[in-house]
């Protein structure tokens, strides 16, 4: 049955006030703090840009998380907000209620607006943002900071971003434009350089390159990378294998890693340019990594040996070597690698590595010593029912392990290599019996697909603790 919920008095008051923008602007001087966020939302929804401009100047909080209200404001809204900031920055004497220090245009802080929404209870209006911001007011005032995340998708920046960066560039003496994350898709390197020249590179914490680059392009980008001295996460995808003339570009890239003392997460998909010279990059890592992902490339035995001896992986929490063919050389280096990170490793992915029963048998002792392991995936490897069963026995002692993805055993396929549903069901039943015998609540996933790019089909095999297990119950 549909019921009508009448608007609250606060909502009606905001709409009534906005019917006369001059009146709304005049009322801001004495407007209670808790009414600012709902009135700002109403003014944005109604397109009352003059009111927004005035509200920015009287904003009673340290942070205005505009990106949490709208992922990217339209041109007129942004101009209104920036116009309000201009008027603030031009004043020699601060307004009485001026507390704004940060304009945040990132897609975060949605909770701020939900807490202060007119739909929340009255009690919610007094928690969270007020206490946090009032404490910050005791700190010395610094320059106004504008936070953005850059997503470079096209040949040039869209109109809104271009206007923002141009506005901030002209006001460098009175504000800081801080970009925490840069994601690069399809943008020419010359245009990327123009954008990076206008932001504070030492503010950038994350860089993701999701487009195929030539090694020469990476070499050009490297000079900017070295200036991102606080970078914590770097993701590179599909860097073309270099020609003989391009190989000097590898040094341009690896040498810049020497400047990244805070780099903790390194993801490299198809880094063919590093094959045979991985040690050159590893020697330049200055801080212990938490995440290392090197996927879909042909590492050499020397590469793996250098990786297993690298000092920067001693505190590794996540390791992924998906699509790296580990069967063309001795697995002793992989054993050493796993032993090295056993004390800290939480996530391990060895998917589509051509590992056979013998290979898994060799590394099982090392895996069983990873007592912090939470996620373990070896899908896409041709393994028999016997070795999957052994894996279940070995990993049952890893009490933190909650996500396990194994390949459907070879016995689940017919002679043509096609999954046979009857055989798969039988394999599931056998594995379920093994899990019951182990006497522990557990869920494993069996991957029946073979494509490392588009995602595999998986089936679940679980034994919940609520079911009797060898006479035991929860």
CA–CA gap between residue 274 and residue 219 (Å, rounded): 13
| Alpha helix positions (H), 157-277 | 159-169, 189-196, 215-225, 248-256
Residue 457 tokens, joined? 């089909």
**CATH code of 283's domain:** 3.80.10
Which pLDDT value is given to residue 119?
46
Residue 308 shares a structural domain with residue 279: no
Convert the pLDDT of each residue in 347-358 to its tens digit: 999 999 999 999
Which domain range does residue 112 map to? 9-136
Of 113, 136, 159, the residue that ends a domain is 136
Residues contacting 392, CB < 8 A, separation 6+: 431, 434, 435, 438, 444
Positive or negative, the Cα torsion across 43, 47, 51, 57? positive
For residue 473, pLDDT over 50 is answered with: no
Lowest average pLDDT, out of 54-68, 141-155, 359-373, 427-441, goes to 141-155
The upper half-sphere exposure of residue 254, i.e. CA atoms within 13 Å in the direction of its Cβ, equals: 16
Lowest average pLDDT, out of 54-63, 236-245, 261-270, 292-301, goes to 236-245
The answer for 320, left when phi > 0, alpha when psi is -120 to 50, beta otherwise, is beta
Which pLDDT value is given to residue 307?
93
Residue 320 shares a structural domain with residue 466: yes
Which pLDDT value is given to residue 452?
40
Residue 85 shares a structural domain with residue 173: no
Is there a domain that residue 293 lies in?
Answer: no
Is there a domain that residue 392 lies in?
Answer: yes
Residue 149 shares a structural domain with residue 106: no
Convert the pLDDT of each residue in 247-259 to its tens digit: 778 899 999 999 9
Is there a domain that residue 4 lies in?
Answer: no
Is there a domain that residue 65 lies in?
Answer: yes
Assign 466 a pLDDT band (cuts: 50, 70, 90): very low
CA–CA gap between residue 159 and residue 78 (Å, rounded): 11
Assign 157 a pLDDT band (cuts: 50, 70, 90): confident
Residue 275 shares a structural domain with residue 402: no
Which pLDDT value is given to residue 126?
34
**How large a percentage of the chain has pLDDT more than 70?**
83
Assign 125 a pLDDT band (cuts: 50, 70, 90): very low
Lowest average pLDDT, out of 53-62, 93-102, 355-364, goes to 93-102
Which pLDDT value is given to residue 12?
58
Which pLDDT value is given to residue 109?
66
Lowest average pLDDT, out of 51-55, 173-177, 405-409, 412-416, goes to 173-177
Run of H or E residues at 446: strand 442-447
For residue 456, pLDDT over 60 is answered with: no
Is there a domain that residue 158 lies in?
Answer: yes
* Angle between helix 9-18 and helix 36-46 axes, rounded to 10 deg: 50
Distance of CA 97 to the CA centre of its chain: 36
Residue 167 shares a structural domain with residue 276: yes
Which pLDDT value is given to residue 15?
61
For residue 336, count CB atoms less than 10 angstroms from its CB and return exposed for 0-12, middle for 13-18, buried for 19 or more: middle
Of 72, 103, 136, the residue that ends a domain is 136
- The mean per-residue pLDDT over the stretch 92-101 comes to 74
For residue 430, pLDDT over 90 is answered with: yes
Convert the pLDDT of each residue in 365-382 to its tens digit: 999 999 999 999 999 999
Residue 472 shares a structural domain with residue 330: yes
Pick the more confident residue, 95 or 344.
344
Is there a domain that residue 1 lies in?
Answer: no
CA–CA gap between residue 427 and residue 385 (Å, rounded): 7
**Percentages (nearest 5) of helix, strand, coil residues in the chain:** 45, 15, 40
**Phi and psi of 175, rounded to 5°?**
-150, 165
- The mean per-residue pLDDT over the stretch 144-150 comes to 90
Is there a domain that residue 2 lies in?
Answer: no
For residue 344, pLDDT over 60 is answered with: yes
Average pLDDT, the chain: 83
Residue 126 shares a structural domain with residue 186: no
Residue 323 shares a structural domain with residue 431: yes
Convert the pLDDT of each residue in 216-230 to its tens digit: 899 999 999 999 999
Give strand pairing partners of 419: 413
**How large a percentage of the chain has pLDDT more than 90?**
44
Range among 57-61, 232-236, 294-298 rated most confident? 232-236
For residue 138, pLDDT over 70 is answered with: no
Residue 257 tokens, joined? 């890693």
Positive or negative, the Cα torsion across 319, 320, 324, 330? positive
Pick the more confident residue, 269 or 45.
269
For residue 243, pLDDT over 90 is answered with: no
Give strand pairing partners of 404: 376
Range among 128-137, 247-256, 360-369 rated most confident? 360-369
Which pLDDT value is given to residue 33?
84
For residue 191, pLDDT over 50 is answered with: yes
Residue 118 shares a structural domain with residue 151: no
- The mean per-residue pLDDT over the stretch 136-143 comes to 48
Query: Do the beta carbons of residue 471 and residue 437 sit within 8 Å?
Result: no
Work out how many domains the chain is built from and give that number.
3
For residue 319, pLDDT over 80 is answered with: yes
CA–CA gap between residue 349 and residue 351 (Å, rounded): 6
Is there a domain that residue 294 lies in?
Answer: no
Which pLDDT value is given to residue 142?
61
> What is the three-class DSSP state of 375?
strand
Assign 97 a pLDDT band (cuts: 50, 70, 90): low
Of 287, 320, 341, the residue that ends a domain is 287
CA–CA gap between residue 200 and residue 266 (Å, rounded): 22
Residue 424 shares a structural domain with residue 463: yes
Query: Do the beta carbons of residue 323 and residue 295 sit within 8 Å?
Result: yes
Residue 56 shares a structural domain with residue 169: no
For residue 241, pLDDT over 80 is answered with: no
For residue 144, pLDDT over 90 is answered with: no
């Amino acid at each position: 049955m549909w019921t009508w919920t009448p608007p609250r008095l606060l909502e009606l008051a905001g709409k009534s006030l906005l019917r006369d923008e001059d009146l709304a602007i005049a009322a801001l001087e004495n407007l209670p703090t808790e009414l600012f966020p709902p009135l700002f939302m109403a003014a944005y929804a109604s397109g009352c840009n003059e009111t927004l401009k005035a509200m920015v100047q009287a904003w009673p909080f340290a942070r205005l998380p505009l990106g949490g209200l709208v992922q990217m404001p339209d041109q007129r809204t942004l101009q209104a907000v920036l116009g309000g900031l201009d008027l603030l920055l031009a004043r020699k004497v601060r307004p009485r209620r001026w507390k704004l220090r940060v304009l945040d245009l990132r897609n975060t802080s949605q909770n701020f607006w939900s807490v202060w929404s007119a739909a929340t209870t009255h009690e919610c209006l007094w928690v969270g943002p007020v206490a946090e911001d009032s404490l910050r007011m005791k700190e010395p005032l610094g320059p106004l900071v504008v936070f953005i995340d850059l997503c470079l998708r096209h040949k040039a920046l869209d109109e809104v971003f271009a206007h923002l960066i141009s506005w901030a560039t002209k006001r460098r003496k009175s504000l800081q434009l801080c970009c925490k994350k840069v994601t690069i898709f399809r943008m020419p390197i010359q245009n990327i350089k123009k954008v990076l020249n206008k932001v504070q590179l030492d503010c950038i914490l994350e860089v993701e390159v999701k487009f195929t680059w030539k090694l020469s392009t990476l070499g050009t980008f490297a000079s900017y990378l070295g200036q991102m001295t606080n970078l914590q996460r770097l993701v590179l995808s599909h860097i073309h294998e270099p020609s003989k003339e391009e190989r000097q570009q590898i040094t341009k890239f690896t040498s810049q890693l020497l400047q990244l003392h805070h780099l903790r997460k390194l993801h490299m998909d198809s880094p063919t340019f590093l094959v045979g010279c991985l040690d050159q990059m590893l020697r330049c890592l200055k801080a212990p990594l938490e995440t290392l992902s090197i996927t879909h490339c042909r590492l050499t035995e020397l590469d793996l040996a250098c990786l297993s001896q690298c000092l920067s992986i001693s505190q590794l929490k996540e390791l992924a070597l998906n699509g790296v063919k580990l069967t063309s050389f001795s697995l002793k280096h992989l054993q050493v690698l796993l032993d090295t990170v056993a004390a800290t490793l939480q996530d391990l992915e060895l998917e589509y590595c051509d590992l056979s029963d013998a290979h898994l048998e060799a590394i099982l002792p090392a895996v069983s010593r990873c007592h912090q392991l939470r996620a373990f995936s070896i899908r896409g490897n041709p393994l028999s029912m016997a070795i999957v069963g052994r894996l279940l026995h070995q990993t049952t002692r890893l009490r933190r392990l909650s996500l396990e993805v194994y390949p459907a055993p070879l016995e689940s396929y017919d002679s043509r290599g096609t999954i046979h549903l009857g055989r798969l069901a039988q394999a599931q039943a056998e594995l379920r019996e093994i899990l019951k015998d182990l006497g522990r609540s557990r869920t494993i996933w069996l991957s029946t697909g073979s494509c490392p790019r588009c995602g595999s089909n998986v089936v679940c095999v679980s034994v919940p603790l609520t079911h009797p297990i060898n006479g035991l119950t929860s």
